[in-house]
Amino acid sequence: MSGRDTVTLNINGAALQASAAASDTLLTVIRDQLLLTGAKRGCNQGVCGACTVLSDSQPVRSCLSLALDCDDKRIETIEGLSNDPAMQTLQHAFIAAGAFQCGFCTPGMLVAAFALLTSNQRPSEIDIRRALSGNLCRCTGYKKIVEAVLGAAEALAWKVVA
């Protein structure tokens, strides 16, 4: 009962098998077994946001999710989202704005920003700061990250018009 169980997870559209104990988090399984290392283990307490992934399209902390409890969820990581045009626009905007230094928080920032732009196509600076308030960056001071998300929103809106 308290050994390891095989679990099939729906990750980035694929059914992936992993072996997990009940206390193994989704973050541990996706990083250490499935080798999807975009999501980072920062605080492991749900505070820093570096492990953010989408579960049924909503941003969640993979470090606070038990892997065995995620078998009925549709999980998307930065690796899977990187094929999405909106995510690519965000990534280009981060590069253009220089919105990183060490880069550790970047995957979580991008996933959180992607979730914001999915629900709010024209966010204000305040909307962006609120949506990213659960993602810590110890390098940039956030200014360029906020500018990058604003820039991505503008570029995406422009694409819709064009």
Partner 1 sequence: MASSPALFRPQTLAEALELLASTVDARPLSGGASLVAMMNAGLVSPAALVSLTRIAELSGIHVTADGNITIGAATRHNTIADDSRLGGTASVLAQAATQIAGTAVRNMGTIGGAIAHADPGLDFPPALFAVDAMVEIASRSERRRVSIREFFTDWYTTVLQPGEIVVSLEIPKPKPGVGLYLKHARVAGDFATVSVAVSLARDGEVRVAVGGCGPSPLASTEADRILSSDTSPTAATRAGDLLASLANPVDDVRGTAEYRKLLIPRMLSRALNDAVAASRAAA
**Which of 7/36 has CB closer to partner 1?**
7
Query: Taking the complex as a whole, how short is the minimal distance between the CB of residue 37 and partner 1, in angstroms?
Result: 18
Is residue 161 within 8 A of residue 122, CB to CB? The reply is no
| 95 Cα distance to chain centroid | 17
Query: Taking the complex as a whole, how short is the minimal distance between the CB of residue 161 and partner 1, in angstroms?
Result: 28
Which residues make up the interface to partner 1 (CB under 8 A)?
1-4, 21-25, 44-46, 49, 52, 55, 58-61, 63-66, 68-69, 112, 115, 129-131, 133-135
**Type of residue at 14:** A
**Which of 73/144 has CB closer to partner 1?**
73
Query: Taking the complex as a whole, how short is the minimal distance between the CB of residue 114 and partner 1, in angstroms?
Result: 12
Is residue 51 within 8 A of residue 105, CB to CB? The reply is no
What is the spatial distance between Cα 138 and Cα 50, in angstroms, rounded to a whole number?
11
**Which of 28/89 has CB closer to partner 1?**
28
Q: Which of 108, 56, 102 is nearest to 78 (CA)?
A: 108
